[in-house]
Structure 1
Amino acid sequence: MTPRPLLSIVIPVSGDDATVATALESAIAQSLVDIEIICVDDASTDGTAGVLERFRLRDPRVRVVRHERNLSAFQARRTGILAASADRVMFLDGDDELTPDAAAVAVAKAEETDVDIVGFGVTVIERDGRTGSPYEVRLQPPQHPHAGDDVLRALFPVGKPAQGQLWRFLFRTSVLREAYSLVPDDLVLPRINDLPLLFLVAILAESYAAVPDKLYRYHFGRGGSGHRVDTLERARFYTGAIRSVDAIGSAVEALATAHADPSLVRDTYASVRFSIIGYVCFQLVEHSDEGMLDGALAHLHTVVSGPDIIHAAARFYPATLKALRFHTTWQGLPDRPARSILLVTSTLRTGGVSAVLTSQARYLHEAGYRVTVVARNGGSDATVLPAGIPFVELTSRRLPAQLTQWAEICRAHEVDVVIDHQLLYTDTWPEFALVARAEGAATIGWLHNFVARPVYDGNDRLTLIERCSPTLAQLITLSPLDVAYFRLRGIENVAYLPNPPSPLMLESAARTGAKTPPSDRLELVWWGRLEQRTKQVRELVEVGVQLRALGVPFTLRIVGPDWDDVTAKRLNALARRRGVGDAVVAVGPLRGAALVSAIDSADAFVSTSIIEGYQLTIAEAQARGLPVFMYELPWLTLVQDNQGVVAVPQGDARGLAARLAETLADPEGYRQLSLASVDAARRARDQDFAQLYREVVTGELSPMYSPEPTLDDAGRLLGLLVFFAQRADGRSVSSADSSTWGQRAWQSAAPLGRATLRRIPGLQPLAHRAKGWLGAR
């Protein structure tokens, strides 16, 4: 009677005639002689069968079994296991090799420990012959012995990318057969056909040990891995990995039900499944040819749900989110009632975006929501938050780590809705929105400036918002004209809301009467940060120069902190050079009672901003009864139907000075302006912001806040985009290279123009005239 071999080496092959001879040579050359080599030919159509037959005739330890039709390597291994004579099995793929002592070392460890699984090291050989890659490091098995449930924990740690290669282990044959008995006899798995079996074995196994020796030589890229995705068929091949993991779902559930710790089995399987989904997504993103990614990801969405894709990518391959953000479908707010709200900014400070966020936190908190505030960067002042509002600061400055912490925050606070206030100021908000979605939270994006701000700043964040708008459940802007832009661009989930009143506005609620008109001297005031790019504070000096030229007695007090390249000292020096240093004075920042005193001692508020989203200082000035004299910002809801505002065209300092001078000669007109200011401030203050914010987070905002775009909206937007494209590089149309500038301006406005003309064809003559005026034909 022939003695049973100590080890069966199972080699599944299919179309491996170029490499299988090398694999078989490595098996035959094993220092452990008492082995059998079972080659399962999965219906090869090349010369593989001939190679196998030559080796069978050469060495009696080689056995050949042939499938009449291709059943996948999963079934080929089943055939080999059922045919095995030994109590232990190792696997060898037809394009890899074993080291000469692989069988001896692995079997010796198995006999010494009597374990169900023996792990050993692997050498990964890249296409160029290099070894020692990070992938090779990841393939090395756990070295410590494990028993019971720890075998599953060791081989498939939750939250780590799953490694399911069978050829890294020696197995007890009976455990392999038991695992195969749990799945259908005819199950075919074209892709990732080894991980499903290893996972079932890891649940069933009672013991594990390992040797540090690298006993297996894996040739990366010879099989299906690492190839370009140049056809939809190749994309289907990659996504087959997900179907392979899904195929054992019922078997895993049966094992979990009978297991002492069902949650361990289920949680580990869920982690493995998401790991494979993330891996497939990574493969498609990294290896798709130009023009194939859209189709490849569209196919992926037919295999697995959008939330599962995002969840998997965020957990295991966060770098892919940068591509996925452009290839996702829109999802609205969660079906469940919103209870926990996350408000997000860059750094929490006083004023500006932080002031709006702080007011939102108060309104939502008072409405009964759990509110948490998160800052992505350091340097925040959390004392500005209302009592009872938790504050979290991201501890890392690297995006992958931030996304990991982001997911943890969403889970820990059971977040339903995220309100992100940083869309205009960061390029990575879509990744955060995707991670939040993966954790079951919808993101609402909040814009704090006019839609043309990115055009003016010369960046592509407007394009980013448009392309990534499906990652947002809702986009909130500050004016109907902003809404018109996005709706003309095909984005429907957009609405506008005004900013909430500031503490100064609320404190001014008791004021109802008009201010006393100036008699012989104008006292003017401006406050804000001393910033030139958008607030044009140096223009205030020019207004002073024009007032003096008109012979108007005045003082203009400029209040605010230094900012970027503008300081109070430099502004005062400019005023002196322009001959108005005695009347135009920058006094630095004032707060509280000192600021209120400066406002109340003034007759009017002057603004020379070129772009704002919601200029809160206008509302604050009007709340104290001050008329407002400003450069035109026609999109601002604050100035619409506001009789307390006097506006002149941008840059018309002389015109602004002339309108100011009129107030000295018209006391009654001044009173009417002041009363209108008080009334406008009341309207701005009296809106039910608590109700508006509840409607935002529940998706019940009135359609009146998302009006249909009109022909007039389209015309104004075209003009404004051209204007800000011009100002982006500080040039005027009359400059020597106006034709070149015109080409750039037209290119900036063209996407909106095309969308507008599709929606409103009657605008064609205006667009034609604009293109001609810009010299862009």
Structure 2
Amino acid sequence: MIPLLSVVVPIHNVEPYLAECLESLAAQTLTDFEVLCVDDGSLDGSRRVAEEFAARDPRFVLLRQPNQGPGPARNLGVRHARGPYLAFADGDDVVPPRAYELLVSSLRETGSDLACGAVLRLADGELAPSTMHEKVFRRRVLCTHVMDRRSLARDRTVWNKVYRTAFWRERGLEFPAGIYEDVPVAIRAHVLATSVDVLDDVVYHWRRRDGGEDSITQRRTELPNLTERLGAIRSVRAFLDETAPELKATFDDLVLEKDIVFLFQALEDAADGDSGPALEVARQWLAELGPDVIAAAPSLRRLELHLVERGLVKELRQVREFRRASAEGTRVVPRGWRNTGWYGDYPYFRDRRLAIPDEVYDARQELKLMARVDECGWTGREYLLRGQVAIHRVERKPGRVSLVLSDGRRKVPLTAKRVGGQGLVATIDPRALEGGGPTWRLQARTETRGLVLKGWFREGESGPTWRLSVAEGSRRGMDIPQ
């Protein structure tokens, strides 16, 4: 009988974790599946663990091949897959019980080519958000696409998904050899899909392995691994150049946020006087990304890249240490009076010896206005609103602040009184909103030392956009008497 879902699990020296992985698959609420365990030449007891599962559960099948890496192992599993739906799981990770039920049900409902979901990191039995995935899966969106939802370019893993097997085969998707084989395939699938379902449910627990000779995490700063990672990045950028150039900036942002860190770690770990090989690999990375990508990076990252380009490893270590010590964030400060610039308050600014250009530190594009409503109450004649306005990463209080209520068509200015450094009080006369829309949003605008910023007020520190409801009561706003 043909199963509904085929799950491919590449296995190589993961004996301490494999039983937990396979047990999580056996416990899935969607029970009509097959698990294709592919032993990739394991030297520990991994094959024995898989054999035991296959012996007691006919849904588990063991395939074998000489050690070729996770990509070829997955390809072998795909060739044996019989189900109309296809998924991948790594032998050291865990799949939550309802994951495949949720993903397959979504595909059957929408007809999309793939469905993907949220991920948590698993370390020492504790779960924490995956920083790479959390921005992507904050809300459920069905029948979308990476061209419409650019954040999906950050979704570079294959195991938090279910694919239609026909889509996979018709598009000729195949894993390359090497240890970063999933990134090119995940991005290709997003671009080539007709539509994608994005679920906010957690569908995968990604284990953080910090030890063991076969742990990629442990070896990711080794120069051969960095060269392989660069190869995967080149492959994706070449594919995007040809098929979806609009996505390159989003992909490059993630490379500069995540991948480049391993390069810095390799340079930090290099012995004094022995950083030449690591610098050579680093320059290959910078050449691939190009000056435009580097110029668009955040200012502190630009400083790190500038130091790498000049081979200033000692100074790079100091800046990396500065970053780690700035747990609460780094500051941006204004400099100059007639033509004020806003610069990151980082080491070596205008250091005469290094003569780093000011534009490396330029942080104007990184600043944003933070506005929040603390309370809003009815006085009998009008609404009294109390809130706060601040510029993110800037210690000085904002300059002139103006407030505007907007329903999307009309704008109603409000009079605001400053209270202390960042506080303000404003009143809202309901009569000024007559004839307007049912809900209004509040926007702040500030002019500070040549800097002009706008931002919508939010509920509390990081809540949803604050709204004033005219037509009906709302926990996010206040009723205006009619």
The 3-state SS of whatever aligns with 2:337 is: coil
Choose from 309, 312, 334 the match for 1:328: 309
Are 2:293 and 1:289 equivalent residues in the alignment? no
Are 2:225 and 1:227 equivalent residues in the alignment? no
Choose from 350, 362, 380 the match for 2:337: 380
**1:267-289: CA deviations, max 9, x gaps?**
32465256436633212224642
> Do the aligned partners of 1:236 and 1:299 also contact (CA within 8 Å) in 2?
no
Shift in Å, 1:95: 0.6
Shift in Å, 1:148: 5.5
Q: Residue 6 of structure 2 aligns with which residue?
A: 8
Shift in Å, 1:57: 0.9
> Do the aligned partners of 1:321 and 1:431 also contact (CA within 8 Å) in 2?
no
Choose from 146, 151, 166 the match for 2:158: 166
Shift in Å, 1:304: 3.4
Are 2:15 and 1:24 equivalent residues in the alignment? no
Are 2:90 and 1:93 equivalent residues in the alignment? yes
Choose from 154, 171, 194 the match for 1:206: 194
> Do the aligned partners of 1:242 and 1:277 also contact (CA within 8 Å) in 2?
no
Q: Residue 76 of structure 1 aligns with which residue?
A: 73
Percentage of matched positions with identical amino acids: 21
Shift in Å, 1:129: 2.9
Structure 1 residue identity aligned to 2:34: E
Shift in Å, 1:248: 5.2
> Do the aligned partners of 1:9 and 1:38 also contact (CA within 8 Å) in 2?
yes
Are 2:172 and 1:189 equivalent residues in the alignment? no
Task: Write the distance in 2 (CA, Å) between the matches of 1:297 and 1:51.
Answer: 39
Choose from 103, 117, 128 the match for 1:106: 103
Structure 2 residue identity aligned to 1:16: V
Shift in Å, 1:83: 1.8
TM-score after normalising by structure 2: 0.60
Choose from 229, 250, 272 the match for 1:241: 229
Are 2:432 and 1:432 equivalent residues in the alignment? no
Structure 2: which 5+ runs fail to align?
A: 312-332, 364-482
**1:528-554: CA deviations, max 9, x gaps?**
xxxxxxxxxxxxxxxxxxxxxxxxxxx
**1:390-449: CA deviations, max 9, x gaps?**
xxx44x55469xxxxxxxxxxxxxxxxxxxxx835798935734999xxxxxxxxxxxxx
Shift in Å, 1:73: 1.7
Task: Write the distance in 1 (CA, Å) between the matches of 2:294 and 2:139.
Answer: 25
Shift in Å, 1:125: 1.9
Structure 1 residues 307 and 428 mapped into 2: Cα distance closer, same or farther (>3 Å)?
Answer: farther
Q: Residue 150 of structure 1 aligns with which residue?
A: 147
Q: Equivalences for 1:203-602 in 2 at 5 Å?
A: 203-221=191-209, 224=215, 226-227=217-218, 234-247=222-235, 256=243, 265-269=244-248, 271-272=250-251, 275-276=254-255, 279-286=258-265, 288-289=268-269, 291=271, 294-295=275-276, 297-301=278-282, 303-306=284-287, 308=289, 312=293, 315-316=296-297, 318-329=299-310, 377=334, 380-381=337-338, 393-394=340-341, 396-398=342-344, 423-424=350-351, 429=356, 432-433=359-360
Task: Write the distance in 1 (CA, Å) between the matches of 2:219 and 2:67.
Answer: 27
Structure 1 residue identity aligned to 2:179: P
Q: Residue 403 of structure 2 aligns with which residue?
A: none
The 3-state SS of whatever aligns with 1:93 is: coil
Q: Residue 38 of structure 2 aligns with which residue?
A: 40
Q: Residue 481 of structure 1 aligns with which residue?
A: none
Shift in Å, 1:127: 4.7
The 3-state SS of whatever aligns with 2:141 is: coil
> Do the aligned partners of 2:147 and 2:191 also contact (CA within 8 Å) in 1?
no
TM-score after normalising by structure 1: 0.39
Q: Residue 385 of structure 2 aligns with which residue?
A: none
Task: Write the distance in 2 (CA, Å) between the matches of 1:65 and 1:177.
Answer: 20
Choose from 53, 56, 59 the match for 1:58: 56
The 3-state SS of whatever aligns with 1:423 is: coil
Q: Residue 475 of structure 2 aligns with which residue?
A: none
Shift in Å, 1:189: 2.6
Structure 2 residue identity aligned to 1:227: Q
**1:612-648: CA deviations, max 9, x gaps?**
xxxxxxxxxxxxxxxxxxxxxxxxxxxxxxxxxxxxx
Structure 1 residue identity aligned to 2:91: G
Structure 2 residue identity aligned to 1:198: A
The 3-state SS of whatever aligns with 1:121 is: strand
The 3-state SS of whatever aligns with 2:19 is: helix
Q: Residue 112 of structure 2 aligns with which residue?
A: 115
**1:99-118: CA deviations, max 9, x gaps?**
11212122222212221121
**1:474-504: CA deviations, max 9, x gaps?**
xxxxxxxxxxxxxxxxxxxxxxxxxxxxxxx
Aligned residues: 336
Task: Write the distance in 1 (CA, Å) between the matches of 2:358 and 2:209.
Answer: 31
Structure 1 residues 314 and 252 mapped into 2: Cα distance closer, same or farther (>3 Å)?
Answer: closer
Shift in Å, 1:121: 1.7
Structure 1 residues 166 and 148 mapped into 2: Cα distance closer, same or farther (>3 Å)?
Answer: closer
> Do the aligned partners of 1:274 and 1:311 also contact (CA within 8 Å) in 2?
no
Structure 1 residues 424 and 220 mapped into 2: Cα distance closer, same or farther (>3 Å)?
Answer: closer
Structure 2 residue identity aligned to 1:246: R
Structure 1 residues 428 and 52 mapped into 2: Cα distance closer, same or farther (>3 Å)?
Answer: farther
Q: Residue 607 of structure 1 aligns with which residue?
A: none
The 3-state SS of whatever aligns with 1:167 is: coil
Task: Write the distance in 2 (CA, Å) between the matches of 1:164 and 1:317.
Answer: 22
Structure 1 residue identity aligned to 2:258: Y
Task: Write the distance in 1 (CA, Å) between the matches of 2:200 and 2:360.
Answer: 43
Task: Write the distance in 2 (CA, Å) between the matches of 1:119 and 1:235.
Answer: 32
> Do the aligned partners of 1:120 and 1:140 also contact (CA within 8 Å) in 2?
yes
Structure 1 residues 190 and 5 mapped into 2: Cα distance closer, same or farther (>3 Å)?
Answer: same
Shift in Å, 1:237: 0.8
Task: Write the distance in 2 (CA, Å) between the matches of 1:167 and 1:209.
Answer: 15
Structure 1: which 5+ runs fail to align?
A: 157-161, 257-264, 331-375, 383-392, 401-421, 437-777
Structure 1 residue identity aligned to 2:134: V
Shift in Å, 1:21: 1.3
Q: Residue 714 of structure 1 aligns with which residue?
A: none
Structure 1 residues 302 and 380 mapped into 2: Cα distance closer, same or farther (>3 Å)?
Answer: closer
Structure 2 residue identity aligned to 1:86: G
Task: Write the distance in 1 (CA, Å) between the matches of 2:298 and 2:262.
Answer: 10
Structure 1 residue identity aligned to 2:204: Y
Shift in Å, 1:51: 1.6
Structure 2 residue identity aligned to 1:11: V
Q: Residue 170 of structure 2 aligns with which residue?
A: 178
Shift in Å, 1:145: 2.4
> Do the aligned partners of 2:50 and 2:62 also contact (CA within 8 Å) in 1?
yes
Task: Write the distance in 1 (CA, Å) between the matches of 2:152 and 2:209.
Answer: 24
Q: Residue 125 of structure 1 aligns with which residue?
A: 122
Task: Write the distance in 1 (CA, Å) between the matches of 2:187 and 2:294.
Answer: 21
Task: Write the distance in 1 (CA, Å) between the matches of 2:299 and 2:114.
Answer: 33
Shift in Å, 1:325: 3.7
Task: Write the distance in 2 (CA, Å) between the matches of 1:219 and 1:108.
Answer: 26
Structure 1 residue identity aligned to 2:269: D
> Do the aligned partners of 1:306 and 1:329 also contact (CA within 8 Å) in 2?
no
Task: Write the distance in 2 (CA, Å) between the matches of 1:100 and 1:62.
Answer: 17
Q: Residue 662 of structure 1 aligns with which residue?
A: none
Shift in Å, 1:96: 0.4
Task: Write the distance in 2 (CA, Å) between the matches of 1:127 and 1:431.
Answer: 44
Task: Write the distance in 1 (CA, Å) between the matches of 2:231 and 2:40.
Answer: 20
| CA RMSD, 1 decimal | 3.7
* Structure whose alpha-carbon radius of gyration is higher: 1
Q: Residue 682 of structure 1 aligns with which residue?
A: none
**1:541-573: CA deviations, max 9, x gaps?**
xxxxxxxxxxxxxxxxxxxxxxxxxxxxxxxxx
Task: Write the distance in 1 (CA, Å) between the matches of 2:299 and 2:277.
Answer: 18
Shift in Å, 1:59: 0.8
Task: Write the distance in 2 (CA, Å) between the matches of 1:180 and 1:434.
Answer: 45
Structure 2 residue identity aligned to 1:82: R
